[in-house]
Each structure stands twice: as structure tokens, then as C-alpha cells.
A and B are shown apart, each in its own frame.
Chain A
Amino acid sequence: MNSPRWKKILRDLQAARGRMAMMVIAIAVSIFGVGMILSAYTILSREMSANYLGTNPASAFIELDRVDEALVKAVSERPGISEAEATSWVGARAEVSPNEWMPVLLFVIPDFETMHVSTVSLEAGAYPPSDQTILVEREVLPMLDMKIGDALTVQTPNGTRQQVVISGTVHDPALAPAWQEQTVYGYISPAMLATLGESETLHILKVVVSDEPYNITAIESTVSELAVWLKSQGYVVDEIRIPPPGRHPHQSQMNSVLTLLLVFSLMALILSAILTATMINGLLAQQIRQIGIMKAIGARSVQITSLYLVMVVALGIAASLIGMPLGIAAGRGFASVVAQLLNLKIYSDAISLWVYIVLLLMGILIPLLVALDPILKTTRITVRETLNDYGISRDASASSLRDGWLSRIRFFDNTLILALRNTFRRRGRLILTLSLLSAAGAMFMTGVNVRAGWGAYLNQAAADRHYDLEIRFNSPVNEEQIDSILANVPGVEKSESWSLTPAALNRPDGLDIVRTYPDGGHGSFTLRSIPLGSQLIETPLLNGRWLEADDTNAVVLNQNAAAMFPDVKMGDEIQLLIEGQAKTFRVVGVIRQILTPSTAYVLPTTFTSVTGQPLELTNAVRVVMREHDDAAITSITRDVEQAFGEGSVSVKAMVSEALLGEAISGHVYIFIVALMLISTVMAVVGALGLTSSMGTSVIERTREFGVMRAIGARSKTILRNIISEGVFIGLMSWVIALPLSIPLSLGIGYLIGMMSFRSPLPLIMSPVGIAIWLSIIVIGSVAASAYPAQQASRLTVRETLAYI
């Protein structure tokens, strides 16, 4: 490094430290973006599995008429079963404020100390709970704004309203977070359940299979054999829940976020390569005459090439040293935010080795690769060409058509026309700059568009539901009684009966096997009775037709339910297991329903014939209110609650639009955070690219400014010329970015929509995104060109003409 050529490189780096710093920052920002995304990816994908698998999740939950210790012991000794345990779950309600109820899912644990399947861990308070207290999932307390020691008002289907003291909190990472589901998760002893008015008898058998625990077919086979054996032992086998093995209930939500992050990190990588190429070109533009001089005094191309490649590697290393730790730290932060949102614990925030390797390669190899070609090209230019590079004429691409057109423009002054002409002069540079800015703009707008698409999707989901409240009853109630109660509640406009019952795919062995998680929501499949001509939901048809009056066993599936019958055609018969009996339906249509679990819709007569529930009874009603804002819905829901209480109607759950809105917002919050983060990174990289590109353009043309000043141009004129050119390039990139964002938004919207809801997100060109990017581009162009323009306008004519 004592040799003058290396000193030159070091001092060049030092002399142009502003530009070099910008180049390092630009590469560092890209490394930061990709580093953050990859780090978050590696932590979250690992920790989500670790959290879920750490609970030793049951392979299956078998609902029996009774489960006792002897049975548990016998089952755990069965072939193919490694562990077995008894539990129960009961759907109840908690009064969170007067007449405002929230669903409660009570998990009954016979022995907290020895629990070993689908476990929970103590977070705070007393463990195990006494027979008069309840433990709640740790996310419940902030959701209800309660603390340990407070009493929760709980009512089970067969019990009365009771105050139960919360004695502690547990962490149950196998459940979707309470605030996302708007559900209270409670953990109690059988004795506590008895106090609440329910039978102490446990009825759920949790089993873990020993062979191929992550193979759903193998699990089904083992559990089916076990179920047949249980029947042979005189047990009544009801529903068997086999949730997707090894997968957290929100795994698909997380996968969507991670895929989104990976797609954008790939884009950030491409952006970083273009940015680096722009920077390297700028660097070489500045050095071209010096390269000529070095060649004139005896330097060979290979010597010069190695000088600049080492320089690029040095910049890459510097950028990596800055970008990598910051990116990884931000990734850890982001992972921690997402983990909190998903109620996960981060046991280790270690980053996989491959992430470091990718980031280092990105920091060093990408600049090197993109720099190699321009460096080779520049160092191969003859001495005469490099020395003749006056920053005025080289590579000037004239277009008589364009110039003729520009010269005919009358309403701009000559400075602006010169700026327009300058824009097109260096075609290579222009293409590179436009590629960078357009790519950044398209990605930024895609981020905002996907977010808007998501919003539109949710709004559509809300718009498709024309009711404000769904009330589910613990047992079927006479429809007339319900109607008369509701008719006396002010604010209720009308109600319809929408009875429901769980459904499952029918199997040859007659077992009722569903893919539902213990929370009963994720992966559920429901058969719904819908009144003919009901207007309470939109039914956009994807295939076939809607239900008609003379249909007898016709069924319309929503797209999630249809996915369970991949080969079914309109008119085909399918068999569903309803209340343990195989029932045959004829599929007449498939509808698109956003954010609705798998549902099969039938007419009330069909519902009656398959469930045996008399036509005049109902187990669920949907209510339309006169006002539809959240406050009105909440208030009227309280009144409905009170009216049913007074009418002695046992309500299982009330799901209002306000509650549903909260739950849905909770589910998409992570996506919104991720998309905002991505858009910001893209905007920063784009702005840096713009700054670098404009700075380079000015440096390249320093001599030209000398000439302009020598012939009378004032500093103000030069300043205006450069800024106009910057703004013009920015605007051109904006025009290109707009159409480019359409296929990108469509593609990513499709990917995310299909992963999350089996339905692509709509394409929304967000005016906000378009306007924000336009502002960034215009302000960025002015800011990016103003500083170098001011520097250039300050140089004396002599300085600019002697510029080397």
C-alpha cells in the first residue's frame, strides 16, 4: 500500500469522501434492507416452529363421551401412539363490560404439573391455579385491560354467570393470539369447570403419534385405527381434530409475510445492483481523464483495472460493515415486533450463517460484478479518447427528430430546453438512472398498492356482509320467540335464521375427521342454513349457480370449502359428515367469500333434513341494525344481550361487526407493518440512487459548465439547468414506474392473496402511493441536484476548464 497507485486510490476515496460516503451508504442501505428482511425471515421461521413444537402439540384431538385415567394409560400403550393425555374444552362467554360479552375458550387441565401434550408455560402468578381460579393466556390481560387478581365474569352454556379470579397467566404459543381472535383463552381445573356449572367429566383425548409425526396421512391412519379400537371398547367417538401437523394456526399468515419479505428482498437486491452500477459509472466518469493520464505514463489496463476493483471491494466491505450489523439488528427488532404480534417467544435471535454469507456476497460480489464491465470498458478506452473527454461531447447521442422537436418548443426558455436535451445526451447513463428510479418507484408503489388492495379486500369482505350481528345459541330456539325478543330491541331492523352445524369430509370408515385446531376456528368447516332470497351476504359466483326454491339437497360451497373437493364439478354429489352421519349433497355452485372459513350453504329445508333440527327452530340468527357504525353496533348488541338475558335465552356467542372488524384488523396488521417497512426501504434506496445519479451527471459535465460560464451563463442559469434536468429525469422515471407497478402489484397481490385466502387481492392503484412517489421524486430530484449544481456553479471558469 506504500506504492503511489494505492495511495492514489486511498486519497481518491478520501478526496471524494462525500460521494464515496454516498456510495457506501447506498450499498449499505441495500444490505440493510436485505439483511433486515433475511434476518427477520430466518428468526421468525425458526422461532415459530420452535414455539409451536415446544408445546409438544397433539397429533390429534379425539372427542369421546368420556376420558379417564385408565383409558389414557391404555391408549398410550397402543401401537403407533407415543403419548396420550386427557383434556376438555368448553366454549363459554365473558362479560367484559355490562352486557358486552366476548367468547371464552376454556381448556380443562386435569393436572397442570404433569401436563405433557399441547402444553402451556407459566408466565406470571400462581401455577397451577386453585380449583376456584382461572389462568388466562398472557395476551388476554392487555386485551381486556385487566390484571392478575381481577375477577372475570364467565358464563358457560349450562351454568350461571360467575365471577372467577384470574390467578395467573400462561403462554400458549399453539394458539392464535387472543387479540387477533378477540377470544379469551382460559385454563382451569375440572373442579373449576364443575363450579361453573358444567360436567367434570373430561371428553377430549390428546394423542401424539410415534411414527411420522408430521405426515398427515400417517397420523390419520394411526388415529383411525385408534378410533376403531375406541369404538370397540364401547366409547362413543365424536369429532376427531387433526390440525395440520407441525404448523402453527397462523403459519400461513406468517408464510405470507415471509414470502412477501423474501420477494421484496429479492427486489431490493436487484435495486442494489442497479444502484451500485449507477454509482460505479459515476465514479468512473469522474476518473476517466486520470485513467487516460495513467495510461499515458505507462499504466497497463490490468493495473488500472485492479486499482478500481480493489477500490470497489473496499467500498463494498465498508458498506457491508455498516449495513450488515444494522440490518441484522433491525431484522431482530422486526422479528421481535412480529413475534409479539403473533404471541411467540423468541428463544434465540441467532442468525443463520447463510444470511451472513449472502450479505457479504451482496456487499462485495454484487458491486464487483456490476463494476467489472464498466471498469473494463473504461480502462480499455484509448488514451486519446480518455484525454479528449472534456465532459462535453463524448457519447453524445443526437437525435435530429428529438432535437428538432425540442427546438420548436416556444413556451420554455433556452435553459429548460438545454436541460431537456442534456437529459437524453448520455443514453447509457440515462437508461441506468431511469432503471433504478423506475424500479424503486414501481416497488414503492407496489408496496402501497398491495396495502391498498388489502384494505379494499377487507372493505369488500365487510361490504359483502349486510348484517351487523350474529347470535349463536347454546341450543336451538324457536324462531318466533327470537323474532319477538329482537323486535322489542330499539335499533334492530330485521333478523334472519342462519342455523349452522359443524361439517366434515365423509370417510369410508365413518369417522368425523376435521382439520380444525383446538380453538375450533382455524381450519373449521361449517354447514349453514340460509333463507331463500336472503340479502345478508353477497354471493359472487365463481362457478355454477346460487340456491333455488325447488332445490332439495343442493349445496353451494365457498372457495375455501371447494378447495377441499379439488375435482368436484357442478352437479357432482359430495358426502359430508353431519353430526356423525354421512349426508349426500349436490354441488350447484361455488362462491367467493373473503375471510370466511370453509362453509357449505344449503336451504333451511335441506338443513332440517340433514340435521333433524325442526324448521321452526334456529341455533343462530343474523341481525341487521338501523345504524351501522361501531358505536351503534356495540350499543345495540348490549341491548340485544340484555333482552335475551331477560328472555332466558342461552346465548353461546355474539359476533358483532365491530368485534369481527377488530379480529380482522388484528390478522392483517402484520402485513401492513411489513409493507410499510418495505416501502420505506425502497423509497430510501430510490432517493439515494437519484442523488448519486444527479451528482455524477454534474461531475461529468463540470467542464461544460465552465464553457457555459465562459460564454456568459450566470451561476443561477447553471443551477436552474441542472435542477431542471434532475426533475425531468425524475418525472420520466415516475411515468415509467407507474405502468411497471401494475404487473408487480398484480403478481404480489396474487401471491399473497392466494397464500392467505385462496383468492387474489384486487389491483388497486393507490393515488396516495402515486402522489407520495411523485413528491419523493420531485423533491428528491431538486434536493439531489441542488447541492452538486451549487458546487459546480461556484467553480471559476479556469477551475472548470482545468478540471481533471
Chain B
Amino acid sequence: METGLASQNQLILQPIIENHLIELRRVSKAYDVAAGKFLALKDVDMQADAGEFVAVVGKSGSGKSTLINMITGIDTPTSGEVLVASTAVHAMDQEQLAVWRGRNVGVVFQFFQLLPTLTVAENIILPMDFCNTFPVNERRARAISLLEKVGIAEQADKLPSDLSGGQQQRAAIARSLANDPPLIVADEPTGNLDSQTSDAVMQLFANLAAEGKTVLMVTHERDLTQYFTRSIMLADGVIVNGRER
């Protein structure tokens, strides 16, 4: 199986002084809006290492989602560098980003975003299919084992619409793990869940971090801080503090 970032590192930036899994150097992002330019991120520097569970917090419009979009390659910086395991994400084109992201980043969305016409298991097999990462005959077994890991193996052959919100989010987490990426990025994954389900989901993420995955999560919810190893607070596009728990 090919999961290492080194295989994708045609754009490695040398020399890397500190070997962080994620490193943002003076990243800025400006959007054109009717009133002119809106600076969503301003010269942001940030690092995260393997096994960290980092919360990205801040008010609405502070730049949280923009920040994680830079790291996942969903969006590109106006200036600055984004390095993930020494890969220069900011320098990739859309096609390179798709392949890189599929193998190296698991993305979890607030509204789960499971494809509605695929069963839960098929949703999890889909990233393996797109990235051709596991042998075809092993993919379903892997999907089931990931579903077992998130505790919904019995739901494997149901459609997402048959699942509760919490179950759908667990399925989305299992999907994010399909290609065994070192980095999991989640954008308010508990924003649409009740508190009990939120706790269970957060515990899943914490377990993943404990297994050595880096988990980056945007959240508004202050009572979840116990799960994070660190939080980064953003205000008006600037990191106002990076706090170890």
C-alpha cells in the first residue's frame, strides 16, 4: 500500500529545517468582494505535528475554514507557503491536489457530505477507487473494518439517508480514513449533532490522534476543548494565540 507522502513529493521544498507535518509560512488569502478585497488570512504562520489534535477556533468570519482549506488544498493562498509533510501544497495544480489530497488528507464536513446514492460501505470504498490505493478485492473488507472502528459496521449496506446524523458523521470519518491518510481535517464535524453524539464523535477523533494521525478541526464549541492537544484561535484572519492544553 502506498500511503507515504514521499511518493507525492515532486514538489518538496528543500531544505526543511523543522520537520513538522503541517507548516504554514506567511500565508495570506484575499477574496474579491463587491467592496474591494477582503483579506481572510493575514501572514499566518502555523505548524502541527504528527499525533496532534488541533482545534481551530474563532468567531464566524475569522478565517478558520479558509485556514483549513489552505491545508487541504481545497483553496490556494494568495501568498505564502503551505507545506504538508514537506509537500508544497500551494504550488500544486488542481489535478495534483486531487491525487495528493485523496491519499494524504481525510476530509470531514459539517453536513457529512456522503454521496446519497451510494451505501455507507460504497462511500468508504470510493476514495480507494479514485486513488487506486488498495487491491479491489480487499476494499470492502477494509471499509467494513473502518466502519467497525467507528462503531457502525452493521450500517454498511444502508444508504446515508437511512442513518442518523451521528451515524452519518461516523461514516464520514470512516471515509476520511479510507486511504489511511496521516492528516484528518474536519470542518465543524459536530456542528450538526447533539451533545451525546458529539462526544462520541470527538472521542473517535481523539483516538485517531492517539494512533498517530494529525487531526485538525474547526469548531465553535468550547466544551470540547478536553479532547484537543492544542487550539489555535483566529480573529480577523490572524492567529491570536496558539495554546497548548
Contacts and interface: CB of A to CB of B under 8 A. Distances in A.
Do A and B form a real pair?
yes
Interface of A: 2-5, 7-8, 11-12, 14-15, 289-290, 293-303, 380, 382-384, 387, 802, 804
A295 B97 CA distance: 9
Contacts of A296: 72, 74, 101, 107, 109, 113
A297 B122 contact: no
B115 A300 contact: no
A301 B94 contact: yes
Contacts of B113: 289, 293, 296, 387, 804
B48 interface: no
A598 B68 CA distance: 85
B127 interface: yes
A298 B111 contact: no
Contacts of B125: 4
Contacts of A302: 95
A778 B136 CA distance: 53
B122 to A, nearest CB: 4
Contact of A303 (B94, B122, B130): B130
Contacts of B176: 297
Contacts of B117: 7-8, 11-12, 14-15
7 contacts: A4-B118, A4-B122, A4-B126, A5-B130, A301-B95, A382-B94, A384-B75
B118 A301 contact: no
Interface string B109-147: 101010111100011011101110000100000000000
A298 B179 contact: yes
Given A4-B123, A8-B115, A290-B115, A298 B99 contact: yes
How many interface residues does chain B have, given as a range?
Answer: 20 to 34
A297 B126 contact: yes
Contact of A297 (B69, B116, B175): B175
Contacts of A384: 69, 74-75
B200 interface: no
Interface string B32-73: 000000000000000000000000000000000000010011
Contacts of B99: 298, 300
A106 to B, nearest CB: 76
B102 interface: yes
Nearest to B165: A802
Contacts of B179: 298
Contacts of A15: 116-117
A8 B122 CA distance: 9
B103 interface: yes
Nearest to B34: A398
Contact of B107 (A3, A12, A289, A297): A297
A298 B115 contact: no
Nearest to B66: A384
A14 B118 CA distance: 12
A15 B159 CA distance: 12
Contacts of A298: 98-99, 101-103, 127, 130-131, 179
Interface string B78-111: 0000000000000000110011011100010101
Contact of A4 (B95, B129, B131): B129
A605 to B, nearest CB: 88
Nearest to A802: B111
A14 B116 CA distance: 12
Contacts of A301: 94-95, 98
A667 B190 CA distance: 77
Contacts of A7: 117-118, 122
Contacts of A293: 109, 113, 115
Interface in B7-32: none
Contacts of B74: 296, 382-384, 387
Nearest to B65: A384
Contacts of A804: 111, 113, 115-116
Top 6 closest A-B pairs, CB basis? Answer: A298-B102, A11-B117, A4-B122, A299-B130, A297-B127, A383-B74
A2 B126 CA distance: 11
A8 B72 CA distance: 25
A318 B114 CA distance: 29
Contacts of B116: 15, 804
A302 B130 CA distance: 11
A295 B98 contact: yes
A677 B14 CA distance: 73
A305 B92 CA distance: 20
B97 to A, nearest CB: 8
Contacts of A294: 115, 126, 130
Contacts of A289: 113
A390 to B, nearest CB: 11
B69 A8 contact: no
A7 B115 CA distance: 11
Given A4-B118, A296-B107, A804-B111, 17 more contacts: A3-B129, A5-B126, A5-B130, A11-B118, A289-B113, A293-B109, A294-B115, A295-B98, A296-B72, A297-B126, A297-B176, A298-B98, A298-B130, A300-B99, A380-B94, A382-B94, A384-B75
B111 A300 contact: no
A294 B129 CA distance: 11
Interface string B174-192: 0110110000000000000
B168 to A, nearest CB: 10
Contacts of B178: 297
Nearest to A3: B129
A749 B59 CA distance: 69
Nearest to B116: A804
Nearest to A4: B122
A500 to B, nearest CB: 79
Given A296-B101, A297-B107, A5 B95 contact: no
Nearest to A11: B117
A298 B111 CA distance: 19
Nearest to A382: B94
Contacts of A297: 101-102, 107, 126-127, 130, 175-176, 178
Which of A5, A297, A804 has the most chain B CB atoms inside 10 A of its CB? A297
A380 B175 CA distance: 23
B25 to A, nearest CB: 21
Which of A289, A294, A298, A387 has the most chain B CB atoms inside 10 A of its CB? A298
Nearest to A293: B113
A297 B133 CA distance: 12
Nearest to A15: B117
Nearest to A398: B34
B90 to A, nearest CB: 14
A303 B132 CA distance: 12
Nearest to B103: A298
A159 B118 CA distance: 90
Given A5-B130, A8-B117, A299 B102 contact: yes
B115 to A, nearest CB: 6
Which of B118, B176, B178 has the most chain A CB atoms inside 10 A of its CB? B118
Contacts of A387: 74, 109, 113
Contacts of A290: 115
A383 B208 CA distance: 25
A392 to B, nearest CB: 15
Contacts of B73: 383
Which of A4, A5, A290, A299 has the most chain B CB atoms inside 10 A of its CB? A4
B130 to A, nearest CB: 4
A264 to B, nearest CB: 39
Contacts of B103: 298
B117 to A, nearest CB: 4
Nearest to A798: B192
Contacts of B127: 297-298
Contacts of A383: 73-75
A32 B132 CA distance: 42
